[in-house]
Chains A and B, each alone.
Chain A
Amino acid sequence: MSSRESILQAIRSIPRAEKILPDTPDFKSQGELGVLFTKALEANKAEVMDRTQFEEWMEKNQSTRVFSYSEDFQKYSSVILPEDPHELENLQLAILEGQFGVAENGAIWLEDKELPHRAIPFITEHLVIVLNKTNLVDTMHQAYQQIGANHSGFGVFIAGPSKTADIEQSLVIGAHGAKSLRVVMI
């Protein structure tokens, strides 16, 4: 018998009464979505800005290797998308668009269609996610309603910059992924 069969067989042979599958209620958060969302992101060491603030920041910022996949900020793009994501090793800044944000925890959803390479938000040194102000939902329950049944090979909730607290529980930003996250609300 294959291991598959023997595992399934072993499970089937165990007498069990079927238990009910509860439905998940539509729990909402309390408060204004934009405020909650910003608070959650800031608590997670991300920065939230508007278009003007972002443009000012880009002026000052010395990044020369920038890749933008956001229509709104194409002008900043200086790196041509390579075929092999390994070549993004020295990317300084990636500007991506998020689909929607979750107010309760600051998480932003991106799928394959927002990610020309899945590695981009992780391999880049700094990350900017552009998000439409109106695309906010309350909690993770509404988030999954929003995601729905659509197929995407890969999807990710990003809620802040890469971080770790593995050395004596001291928070350090910038473990392996992006060292900073800026969210531009337009």
Chain B
Amino acid sequence: MSHPQAAGEFLKDQAKAKWHDETLWFVRDKRDRISKTIPEWEDLRELASQIKDHVLSKLDSYLEEFERNAQKNGIKIHWAKDAEEHNQIVLSILQEQNCTAIVKSKSILTEECHLNPFLEKNGIEVVDTDLGERIVQFLNQPPSHIVLPAIHLKKGEISELFHEKLQTEKGNEDPAYLTHAARLHLREKFLSAKVAITGVNFGVAETGEFVVCTNEGNADMGVHLAQVHIACMGIEKIIPRRKDLGVFLRLLARSATGQPVTNYNSHFRSPSAGKEIHLILVDNGRTAQLAREKFRNSLKCIRCGACMNTCPIYRRSGGYSYGSTVPGPIGSILSPGLDMKKYSTLPFASTLCGSCSDVCPVKINIHEQLYEWRQEITKTHGELGKNLSMKLASGIFKSPLAYKLSGSLMRSALKTLPKSLIYHPINSWGKGRNLPETPQESFKDWYKKNRK
């Protein structure tokens, strides 16, 4: 489905769409307020951006350094060139452990690799433990936002869902009550899981450690109780030195939710005695994006979600309208790199207002890259649409008479065209817009008359 079509679906529930818009704006506003309490905010953004630029310029040697140090610490390192290999590695570790049920904490990478359906097909129960992720997992949906996975749902819907799945009281919509029910339910899962999977926010080359940030503490509940911890990490998550974490941890939560820091920031350097940590380094299109010079710095993204919260299109079209694991402005740059045809409408889902670039803590020039993708897409396979309009145009421009005629034809056509044609679903811009009033006479006629 194209973005405009999917957005149309989302907009059918006008009240909910309005709420979605306002809630995300509220988060954006919190981010603004807290960023203004740090006088060096802009310096931090610049530093973060430069550190990431530096990492990308030496990614191969940092990955090797990270691997060397992590192995020294007793972490088992695996490499996966794509989603399939990543999933196979996870499965083989689980099989080695004779494990049939796992707990997982928020990891966008495992979503990207479609790990859940893969493991379920192989007879393994997967429980997402972040509350928002558990909610959408119950609904068989992917997250609609990278930081706020269930932001598209109202508490009434969650209440009903929990009534069905967790036998909560019918009609009780109190978020504290519902959260508590999920706590009890998930505790059982934490206590019985032998293997826990987490994502990775940062990998530190200098020490071979990795950092996981959560507010709920679900990553820690999972891994400290399990025998084996599997961490899934995109190769772009490397930073050079431990002290660089100072820059990134100051930016991440402030940009994401407007809080000074996440409540739990866990640094994993070696497993506890008798336990195992496996870390999978995943490419899955990242080296290809690295090779695209114009889009390279999209790999600097630290997944804070700020660009989504600020984007006027995201707020009004919902995460699902993007049809990709990472939605919103940054997703619209990353996804066409994975499949240009499938995601061809995403770079057009932007007003190019630049607000995404303004809030991005690592200073990715998001709106400029969206504009670049538009050009790439039109060049490579916008042929159909373009051909048609170009043919029309070239026919018109070739003959002065045709051009003159076309103007007057167009003026009357705009008046008489049936609404169904203008507001046709193919014409996504027709929605929510009215056509301009056409002038009575053409500019040429006006000029002739008024020239003295």
Contacts and interface: CB of A to CB of B under 8 A. Distances in A.
A160 B59 CA distance: 35
Interface in A99-157: 102, 104-107, 117-119, 121-123, 139-141, 143-145, 147, 149, 151-157
A147 B243 CA distance: 9
Contacts of B53: 19
B224 A7 contact: no
A176 B57 contact: no
Interface string A150-185: 011111111111111111111010111110000000
A16 interface: yes
Contacts of A40: 260
A118 B224 contact: yes
Contacts of B130: 166
Given A86-B191, A119-B220, A175 B183 contact: yes
Interface stretch (B211-219, B344-352, B403-411, B422-430): B211-219
B80 to A, nearest CB: 6
Interface residues of A, number: 72
Contacts of B39: 30
A167 B150 CA distance: 7
Contact of B54 (A10, A11, A21, A151): A21
Interface in B352-375: none
Contacts of B50: 19-22
B48 to A, nearest CB: 10
Interface string B200-220: 000000010000000111101
Interface in A64-90: 85-86, 89
B118 to A, nearest CB: 17
A18 interface: yes
A44 B225 CA distance: 26
A24 interface: yes
Contacts of A158: 263-264
Interface in B180-200: 180, 182-183, 186-187, 190-191
A122 B79 contact: no
Interface string B143-166: 000001111011100100000000
A3 interface: yes
Interface in A29-87: 30, 40, 43-44, 85-86
B64 A8 contact: yes
A64 to B, nearest CB: 20
Contacts of B57: 16-19
Nearest to A20: B54
Interface of A: 2-4, 6-8, 10-12, 14, 16-22, 24-25, 27, 30, 40, 43-44, 85-86, 89, 102, 104-107, 117-119, 121-123, 139-141, 143-145, 147, 149, 151-170, 172, 174-178
26 contacts: A3-B79, A7-B79, A7-B281, A11-B290, A22-B51, A43-B260, A104-B260, A106-B261, A117-B224, A118-B220, A140-B247, A140-B261, A144-B242, A144-B243, A145-B243, A157-B264, A158-B263, A158-B264, A164-B215, A166-B148, A168-B155, A169-B23, A175-B179, A176-B186, A176-B190, A177-B216
